[in-house]
Structure 1
């Protein structure tokens, strides 16, 4: 069944109004009609089963049939702090990370980032990433759309890290040296409701100086298995480990 996110203002106790691209998708792509059922969420935890009552070019009206009680969000709130990568890799990271349960994505610049964030085009890029997160959340039947934050500097990342319960940095040198225990130790120390910030470097990784600064800020330096992962793969590894530990093994 198709799922759509709507703003809280468009969802009352008994009715839902869908506009914009989603309305067009219902009418032109899915070719839905009165009487068809859809699922709607306000991205704040409320999800409802609806029956379409009116379809036109600009909006779709639906009546609420029942409230849906579901638990689709990760018990650990994971923010992926991602060193800005080349090309469309950030789009892949947001899409796959959303499917795997990330709470949000915080791009940042570091000394080995090949790509520099273009402030003029930046807002358009963030909107594009937010749309990807929304579509991935709908596809994976999540109840909440992850946040996509405006990129920050490495210095700002260190300051913002103070607000998290746990902090880890994926460091390839740890994997090369055979480090295998720290990620498991961090996961074992967490409990449902904990917040976790995971810092992942760009294609060139982190410099030793940056890793030292991260450690001073409270980050635990971890190897993600015995293999060296691409920057666009590391977040999926971490989120999969969190899901296995807290959702499949509980």
Structure 2
């Protein structure tokens, strides 16, 4: 069953529903009618991006307007029991888009690109808005593919120094190749008896963290961890850490 994002609240209390029917307009209507060529009677899945899902049947298909009758609405159970925020040092375009796509599929809640001392990529201020729109579009498409009902927010890039005033997760981690004492698995297992509601983690740039950046993290209560004896690429590290967090503390693995 195809799933489509409807930027309207999918609950019976909303004004967007009339006699249990809803219009689909714009890009999704075009996709249904002209790309997928779905016909009246087709059953589709809908999600509003804030946690609600519904199934319905197409009852009127035009090239720029779709009318769907909702059969069942519900709060989705596709979200992890913990909220995970990824603070990702800004990598090259293709790598960041891959990270956004796969992290969304895995269950990340927020993605915050950060600019560190060794960040190679620099985005023109005039292009930031378009970049962020594209990143959030990638997250939306990944939700459709993975069946999630909540679209993670991808923020505008922010400087590393500025991010510490915004940290609000109960547990915040920073993988660091020079850390030798505490492994990620060890730290996560220590929280299994009292699972935090929110976890954040930093992933460094391709050139690695500067020592001053690590010290700044320590001064702000961030826990350094090692990922093991091998050095991982930034896109590998982000997805590996997210997977381990959601496996140990979340719902990944069933």
TM-score (norm 2): 0.90
Taking the TM superposition and a 5 Å limit, the aligned residue runs for 1:185-204 are 185-186=187-188, 188-189=190-191, 194-204=197-207
1:152 paired residue number: 158
Q: Does 1:31 align with 2:37?
A: yes
- The residue that corresponds to 1:56 in the other structure is 62
Conservation of the 8 A alpha-carbon contact between 1:107 and 1:149:
yes
What secondary structure sits across from 1:34 in the alignment?
A: coil
Match of 1:226 among 226, 229, 240: 229
In the alignment, what sits opposite 1:238?
241
Within 5 Å, give how 1:1-250 maps onto structure 2: 1-8=1-8, 11-12=16-17, 14-68=20-74, 70-161=76-167, 163-174=168-179, 177=180, 179=181, 181-186=183-188, 188-189=190-191, 194-245=197-248, 246-248=250-252
Question: What is the aligned residue count?
Answer: 246
CA RMSD of the aligned region, Å? Answer: 2.0
- Cα distance in 2 between the residues matched to 1:192 and 1:53: 46
Which aligned runs of 4 or more in structure 1 are off by greater than 6 angstroms?
none
Contact 1:73 1:142 in 2 (8 A): yes
Structure 1 position 9, deviation (Å): 5.7
How many Å separate the matches in 2 of 1:249 and 1:3?
A: 23
**Higher percent of residues as helix:** 1
The 1:58/1:9 distance shift into structure 2, 3 A limit, reads: farther
Deviates more, 1:37-46 or 1:240-249: 240-249
Q: CA deviation at 1:248?
A: 4.9
Contact 1:27 1:55 survives alignment (8 Å): yes
SS of 1:18 mapped into structure 2 = strand
CA contact under 8 A between 1:17 and 1:61: conserved in structure 2?
A: yes
TM-score calculated relative to the size of structure 1: 0.91
Distance 2:222 2:153 in 1: 22
C-alpha distance after superposition, 1:146-200 (max 9, x if no partner): 0011111111111112x221110121222xx4x4534432354165661111111
Q: Determine helix, strand or coil for the equivalent of 1:210.
A: helix
Q: Which runs of 5+ in 1 are unaligned?
A: none
Instruction: Give the gaps of 5 or more residues in structure 2.
Output: 11-15
